[in-house]
Amino acid sequence: MKLWKPFVFAVLVTLGMNALDMLFHVATETAVHLNYVAVKFTIVFVSVFLIAWLIGIGRTPGIVSALLGPTAFYIYYRVATPTLDRSLFRIDDAVLYVVVHAIALALVYWLATRVMKKDSGSLSFATLTSLAALPLHWGWIMFVIKWTGGLDGDTTKALTLSAALIALVVLWVLCYFASWVANRWIGASVAGIVFAIASMFLGATAIGGVARVFVLGVPYVLATELKR
Amino acid sequence: MKWSIIIAFVAGIPGAILTFVDPRTLVAWGLGFGRHNDRVLAGVLLLIIAFVSICKFLTLLNTSTAEKPARKNIRKKSSRKK
C-alpha cells in the first residue's frame, strides 16, 4: 500500500483515540498530562501507521493495532520515570487502562474504515473529524498554559468534562454542515473560521483564533483524503 | 520474506535492550544518549517495528501457503489434457 493513505488514516485514528481517551480521563478524574498525551500519540500513531502501511487496513489489522498500541504504551508507562507527581495525580498506568485504550482505538479504527467507504454519509465523517479535532484543541490549550509559565499539574485542568463535551458538539455541528459544501478546502476554511470566531468570542486571543482554524481545518482536509 | 525476519531482529534486540535494561547499565555500556525516558521511547518504538515485521512475515507466509494449492490444481489440469 502507498504511504499517504496509511499515514492519513493513522493520524486520524490516533487523534480520535486520544479524544475518547482524554474524555474518559476527565470523567474518571485521571490526569490528562501533556507529556503523556504526546508519548501516547507517538506510540499509537507508529503502531497504526506501520500496520496500515505494511499489512493493510481491515478487521484483523485493526484488532492487532488496537492491542499493539496500548500494550506498547503500557510498557512505556511501567519502565519510564514518572513526569507527574503520582502522589498528587492519578494517571492511567493501571492494566485496566490498556483495555480502555484498546476499546477507544478499535472504535475510532472502525469509524475511520466506515468513512473510507464510498457510500459513507456525513454522520460518520463529522464524528471522525470532530473527534480528531478535539485533542488538537485541547492540546493547544494545554500548550498555552505551559507556555505562559503553568506547571505540569496546571495543564491537567485545561478542560473540564462539560467544556470538552461542548467543544466536541460544536466541532461536530460545524463539520456536519461543512460536509455539505462540495469543495473540501472551502468547507474546511469556513468550519475553521467559524470555530476560531466562536473561540475568540469566548476569550481566546488572535493567535488562538488562528490556531483554531488549523485545529479544525487540518483534520477536516485529512478526513476528505480518506474518502478519495 | 527474509527481510522481515532480519528487521525483526535488528529492531527487536536493541529495542529490548533500551527498554528493559537498567539505565545505569546502559550508561556504563556507552548507550546513555538522551534522558532515560527518551531511551525507553526509542526502545518501545523499535519493539513496535520488530513486532510489525513479524506480523508481515506471518502475512507473507500465509499468502505463499495459500498460493501453493492453486498452483498444484493448474498442474493437475494441464496433465489431464494430455
pLDDT, residue A144, reads 86
DSSP state of A119: T
Mean pLDDT, to the nearest integer, of A77-91? Answer: 68
As a whole number, the mean pLDDT across chain A is 87
Cell of A52: 496500515
Burial of A49 by CB count in 10 Å (0-12 exposed, 13-18 middle, 19+ buried)? buried
Residues of A in contact with B20 (CB under 8 A): 79
Q: Over the stretch A136-170, which tens digit does the pLDDT of each residue have?
A: 998 888 888 888 877 666 666 777 888 889 999 99
Residue of A194, A187, A183, A176 lying closest to A125 (CA atoms): A176
For residue A41, give how far its alpha carbon lies from the nearest alpha carbon of chain B (Å): 12
A50–B49 C-beta distance less than 8 A: yes
C-alpha A184/C-alpha A191 separation (Å) is 10
For A176, other C-beta atoms within 10 Å of its C-beta total: 18
**Four-residue CA torsion sign, A6, A66, B20, A86:** positive
A vs B, Cβ pairs < 8 A, gives 48
**pLDDT 10s digits, A25-75:** 888 877 667 778 888 999 999 999 999 999 999 999 999 999 999 999 999
Count each helix (H run) and each strand (E run) in chain B, helices first: 3, 0
Mutation target for A interface from B26, B52, B61: give the one with most A CBs within 10 A. Answer: B52
The more confident residue out of B82 and B29 is B29
* CB of A70 closer than 8 Å to CB of A102: yes
Cβ–Cβ contact B56 with A under 8 A: yes
Q: What is the pLDDT of residue B67?
A: 66
Rg from Cα positions in chain B: 21
- Rounded Cα distance, A183 and A180, in Å: 9
Nearest to B44 among A55, A72, A81 (CB): A72
Has residue A83 got a pLDDT over 80? no
Of B20, B36, B48, the CB nearest to A47: B48
Q: B48 at the A interface (CB within 8 A)?
A: yes
Are residues A159 and A31 in contact, defined by beta-carbon separation less than 8 angstroms? no
Task: State how far the Cα of A42 lies from the Cα of A74, in Å rounded to an integer.
Answer: 13
A162 neighbors A220 (Cβ within 8 angstroms): no
**Could you tell me if A47 lies within 8 Å of chain B, comparing CB atoms?**
yes
Grid cell of A130 as nine digits: 470532530
Range A13-31 average pLDDT = 88
Mean pLDDT, range A183-198, rounded to an integer: 91
- Kindly state the average pLDDT of the residues A112-119: 89
Q: Does B45 touch chain A (CB under 8 A)?
A: yes
Substitution target in B40, B47, B54, B61 with the highest count of A β-carbons within 10 Å is B40
User: pLDDT (tens digit, 9 = 90+) per residue, B1-29?
Assistant: 788 899 999 999 999 999 998 888 888 88
Domain boundaries, chain B: 2-81
CB nearest A43 (choices: B44, B52, B59)? B44
